[in-house]
Structure 1
Amino acid sequence: MNIINNVDLHRFETEIDGEIAFVEYQWKEGVIYILHTFVPNALRGRGVAGQLAEFVLGTIRKENWPVKIYCPFFKKYVEEHPEYQDLTHP
């Protein structure tokens, strides 16, 4: 899966079979806010959201970006993947 950071639209995104799945974010005062994850119906059940989460959280870790998570999917994902819980603590 090819995931890109579409800076102009403030989202990480991937295109599969002509459909676009994405994670919306916003930068504020040096912190990246994860706002929303969207996967089209045609792509659901294929693990796309999880792959997006892995990529986004990996990027956040690699770049050492402070993060605040508002997206319910991401909150649950981090709860279920303890290797990322350190990213959400101040």
Structure 2
Amino acid sequence: MGHAEIEIERRDRVTHGDYVAKLDAGDTPAKLSWTQRDDVRHAEHTFVPTSHRGRGIAEKLVEALIEDARSNGFKIAPDCSYVERYFDRHKELADLRA
């Protein structure tokens, strides 16, 4: 099975929301959940089903969040360990870290 381009859907409920990666039908979707407090989006949890790990899906979810932070002017609090490690690896994103 080839890996199709992963499509990220934004579910925005103003104070909180999710970035969701659609996977195969019947699979639990991968997602990054956030909560907004003032102009900071707290990345709370990143989940990718075991069968889909190692495909860079979590990274795609974080990249969608970062893209939105750049275009919408909010900062990101990496409360989730995955997002925290992502920021640690990408020092150029320090200005977006709350």
TM-score by length of 2: 0.81
| Percentage of pairs with the same residue | 26
Misfit runs of 4+, over 4 Å: none
The answer to whether the 8 Å contact 2:9/2:22 transfers is no
The DSSP-based 3-state class of the residue aligned with 2:74 is coil
For structure 2, the residue ranges without an aligned partner over 5 or more in a row are 1-5
Counterpart Cα distance in 1 of 2:77 and 2:19: 16
**Residue 80 (structure 1) aligns with:** 89
For structure 1, the residue ranges without an aligned partner over 5 or more in a row are none
Over residues 36-69 of structure 1, what are the superposed CA-to-partner deviations in whole Å (9 max), with x where a residue is unaligned? 1000011101111111111111111111113222
**Residue 19 (structure 2) aligns with:** 12
Task: Indicate the structure (1 or 2) with the bigger Cα radius of gyration.
Answer: 2
Task: Say which structure is richer in helix.
Answer: 1
Counterpart Cα distance in 1 of 2:71 and 2:53: 28
The DSSP-based 3-state class of the residue aligned with 2:22 is strand
**Residue 58 (structure 1) aligns with:** 67
TM-score by length of 1: 0.87
